[in-house]
Amino acid sequence: MENHINLFIDTVFIHNMIFAYFLGMCSYLAVSKTVKTSVGLGVAVIFVMVITVPVNYLLEKYLLKEGSLTWLSPKLAEVDLSFLSFIIFIAVIAAIVQLVEMIVEHFSPSLYNALGIFLPLIAVNCAVLGGALFMQQREFSNVWETVTFSFGSGLGWAIAIISLAAVREKIRYSNIPAPLRGLGITFILVGLMAMAFMGFMGFKL
Amino acid sequence: MSQLFSAKNLKLLTNPLNMENPITVQVLGICSALAVTVKMKPAFVMALSVTIVAAFSNLIISTLRKGIPARIRIIVQLVVVATLVIIVDQLLRAFVYDVSKQLSVFVGLIITNCILMGRLEAFAMANKPWESFIDGIGNGMGYGWILIGVSFVRELLGSGTVWGYPIMEKLGVYTIGYVNNGVMIMPPMALILVGVIIWIQRSRSKKLIESK
């Protein structure tokens, strides 16, 4: 249990997807104009990550890693399919996003309308594929750890986008030098927020 | 040959370097631009990989564009891009293993690099193969020069080296009390540097300034 809490705090604050790894930056900058839409996108990212990362973990463990096919037959112990991991991961993500889209559309049309275009776009959000690739690097021991990991990463991403949207709503009324308006000041803002998040790096877990 | 490099095609090549830069104007492909720019060498390798993948995926998708059903085009694009990225990744591992280790997951993340999907959707799906190929190279280079610029500043001020060469030490500035700026290596400075590049670019060409 302690292990899970540590992992959770680590992924939300210390190794935050945005401020430490810059993953999912494109939609982060494009969609963070208002708090309402960014909450929608944040929730969608958490949702997709919690499903895709554990699925990819199971695929990695029972299909792709060297010697992972032994459950099929001991003769396959030397087969190493890990070079296929990129294509499998992205295919899983694209398929699950499509599936989630259909399920949400069927059972909760209001949520579907609220998420709108963001749901299909998540398939190409670097944070989701990044989550899968970091999962591969960190070598988790069981599937529950990947659930915690993906939930933490998704939540960290959602916190980052919602707070940026809140700041951007405020600066709409401030007098920014013309060339910095829009994108320029947003980059600098994110930089300052990332500096604040660097304070968490001192945590020893 | 003159047909291949007509004025229109040259424009495709040079426009992304400045007025339609993928990073500072189109806001595509930011993730990797920020994460791999601590040192110049990985940044250069990354820029080269993205250029190659962008050019060839544009070429392939543009060749196939009439045969791809609109409903499943995203999946087809992802598969083409992922295949190219796997090839690049295996090549990097074979020939420049240390750089490949430094880039870690960011080679894989070229797949979801928005430049690729953005250009495939916006350009390759509607244009002929050769134009698309040039467009891919142009956008890769536009992305590349920002990467190399940012990594140059970060490496020079953060580690006191240029392409691994200890220039600050050779200049002897450490003996008179110069210290490397550690914050430059940290993530936030990458964001602020890109912000500054955007600032400079927009004050030079007023057309790009966003309306209030």
pLDDT in tens, A92-107: 888 888 888 888 788 8
Q: Is the pLDDT of residue B98 over 90?
A: no
Is residue A14 within 8 A of residue A114, CB to CB? The reply is no
Partners of B194 in beta bridges: none
Confirm or reject contact between B153 and chain A (CB < 8 A): no
* Helix ranges, A32-182 (H): 35-59, 85-107, 109-115, 118-121, 126-138, 143-171
Q: Is the pLDDT of residue A74 over 80?
A: no
Which of the two residues, A150 and B8, has the higher pLDDT score?
A150
Q: Residue B147's closest CA among B194, B205, B199? A: B194
Cβ count within 10 A of residue B61? 25
Beta bridge partners of B162: B165
List chain A residues with CB under 8 Å of B82: 86-87, 90-91
Residues 6+ apart with CB under 8 A from A47: A100, A154
pLDDT on residue B1: 46
Give residues with Cβ within 8 angstroms of A102, minimum separation 6: none
Summarize the confidence of residues B1-30 as an average pLDDT: 76
Please answer yes or no on whether A181 and B35 come within 8 Å at the CB atom. Answer: no
Give the residue carrying structure tokens 């392409």. Answer: B163
Q: Report CB contact under 8 Å: A180, B109.
A: no
Mean pLDDT in residue range A63-74: 77
Residue found under tokens 């420049």:
B96
Residues of B within 8 A of A29 (CB-CB) are 27, 30
What's at B94, amino acid-wise?
Answer: A
Residue A202 touches chain B, beta carbons under 8 Å: no
Q: Which amino acid is at A15?
A: H
CB–CB of B83/B64 below 8 Å? no
What pLDDT score does B58 carry?
92
Side chain identity, residue A39? V
Which of A172-185 are b and which e, b meaning 16 or more Cβ less than 10 Å from the residue's Cβ? eeeeeeebbbbbbb
- Token pair of A34, please? 């208002």
Half-sphere exposure of B172 (CA within 13 A, CB side): 0
Structure tokens at A42: 């944040």
Nearest-angstrom CA–CA distance, B120 and B116: 6
Closest residue on chain B to A134 (Cα): B105
Least confident of A76-80, A156-160, A168-172: A76-80
- Whether chain A has a CB inside 8 Å of the CB on B185: the answer is no
CB contacts, 8 Å: B195 with chain A = 180, 184-188, 191
The residue among A188, A193, A198 with the most chain B CBs within 10 A of its CB, best to mutate, is A188
> Which range, A47-61, B28-42, B195-209, is most confident?
A47-61
pLDDT of residue B88 exceeding 80: yes
Q: What mean pLDDT, rounded, does chain B reach?
A: 84
Q: What is the rounded distance in angstroms from the CA atom of residue A82 to the CA atom of residue A78? A: 12
Q: Which of A88-102, A110-124, A126-140, B49-63 has the lowest mean pLDDT?
A: A110-124
How many residue pairs bridge chain A and chain B with CB atoms within 8 Å of each other? 140
For residues B136 and B144, the answer to whether their CB atoms sit within 8 Å is: no
Length in residues, chain B? 212
Mean of pLDDT values over B152-171: 86
**pLDDT, position B51:** 92
Residue B212: DSSP 8-state: -
Closest CA to A162 of A6, A53, A44, A8: A44
Find chain B residues with C-beta within 8 A of A161's C-beta: none
A165 confidence band (pLDDT: 50, 70, 90) = very high
